[in-house]
Amino acid sequence: MVAAPVDAPVDEPDDPVLAVERLSVAYGGDEVLDRLDLAVERGDRLAVVGDGASGKTTLARALVDGFPASARVSGSVGYRPEGGDPVSVFDLDDAERERFRREAVAVVGGDAGGFDPTSTLRGQFRPALRATGTDEARAERLLSAVGLDADRVLDARARELNAAATQLADLARAALADPAVLVVDDCPAAVAHLARGDRLGSFESAVGTGGGATGAGGPTLVALGTELPALATLADRLAVLHDGHVVEAGSTDRVLDDPTHPHTRRLVEFYRGSP
């Protein structure tokens, strides 16, 4: 369904924590990603912007080898821990993958877990606290760092919280393990909240204090969504997903000021023209 990949103007990262290479994914006969390349620089805030059904969740699934059984996949995803040997994500066994999704690359939003709407978040944080050997005080610090009232949120059932609080609490829970990379897929309310003031900065400072894989420069953030303005406010780099490829990637300022791909130009003009 898609044309051959275009050569996206991509600045080569110095120290990629994730490298997606020639990733193709199809569900049934429908190809969603077509030989997609994307490198994620360690410590960056990267936003992947794409229209609805452009394959953002499929890309997020790829970063943790979380495909449904119906997916046909080729290509590779490589993870490079700070100072460690590269890991081929698609070659992990079940136990390694479970640990990888907690300690190396954690995904929130999209079709990743989330909360049971009927029980309190305090109860739903417990398995993550046990798995990471951390205490509730750290959960409270992370919840406060994303701008939430920690006690109120922990005592609430997920159905009593609005979308932003639920998504942010999910992000705080994923951060308990100090993963190297936090992937935020389709969480527009959380992204809009974090884009205000320097809330993301205070959250990033709180991550990395639990002794996990978070690098010295803080966690790497990959946020995927459709809302260019909030994502651009949050991110220092933008990648534009279209027709199964990353058609453009670069610093947020460069992509907004001087978009080279026609799709990026349309996207930027659309948001400039919106109220």
Residues contributing to the site for ligand ATP (CB under 6 A): 27, 32, 50, 52-58, 68, 70, 186, 226
Tell me whether residue 206 or residue 230 sits nearer to ligand ATP (CB atom): 230
Distance CA 142, CA 214 (A): 14
- Least distance to ligand ATP from the beta carbon of 134, Å? 31
CA proximity to 53, closest of 69, 36, 32, 31: 32
Q: Cβ of residue 71: shortest distance to ligand ATP, in angstroms?
A: 7
Cβ nearer to ligand ATP, comparing 142 with 222: 222
Provide φ and ψ at 222, rounded to 5°. Answer: -120, 110
Is residue 180 within 8 Å of 215, Cβ to Cβ?
yes
- Tell me the C-alpha distance between 9 and 261, whole Å: 9
Contact at 8 Å (CB) between 159 and 118?
A: yes
Q: In this structure, how many other beta carbons lie within 10 angstroms of the beta carbon of residue 47? A: 27
CA distance 121 to 115: 8
27 or 136: CB nearest ligand ATP:
27
Nearest approach, Cβ of 27 to ligand ATP (angstroms)?
A: 3
- Residue 36 or 154: the one with the smaller Cβ distance to ligand ATP is 36
Residue type, 237: R
* Distance in Å, CB of 57 to ligand ATP, minimum: 3
Nearer to ligand ATP, 25 or 145 (CB): 25
Rounded least distance, CB 52 to ligand ATP, Å? 4
